[in-house]
Amino acid sequence: MRGSLIATPLLLVPFALDATGAGLMDQAQLKIWAYAGFIALVLLFLVLDLGVFHRDAHEVSMKEALTWSTIWLACGTGFSAFLGAGLILEH
């Protein structure tokens, strides 16, 4: 299984295997990349939410609040599905 892709949180990292089947990237490095990617994604969403979408101070209507809540819940659900798919592919 040389040059296979292993799904990790937030990343699809090329994970080359040597002749013995041992991975060239150890789990600690993989975990660091996963945490760094997660933090980067959260910061990106914060910048988008606070800096791009809501520049103007205004009274938020119920419709707008429900719309934004639905959008952010969909993002969270999508992220959970991505993690779940990564766990299924890994095993």
Q: For residue 35, what pLDDT is reported?
A: 85
What does the pLDDT look like over 8-34, one tens digit per residue? 444 445 454 445 555 556 777 777 887
Sign of the four-CA dihedral 12, 28, 78, 88: positive
**Burial level of 58, CB count in 10 A (0-12/13-18/19+)?**
exposed
**Burial level of 8, CB count in 10 A (0-12/13-18/19+)?**
buried
Rounded mean pLDDT of 49-57? 81
What does the pLDDT look like over 66-91, one tens digit per residue? 999 999 899 989 988 888 887 777 76
Q: Please report, for the chain, the start and end positions of each structural domain, with discontinuous segments joined by +.
A: 4-90
Q: Which residue has the tokens 């520049």?
A: 55
Q: Are 23 and 17 in contact (CB under 8 A)?
A: yes
pTM: 0.53
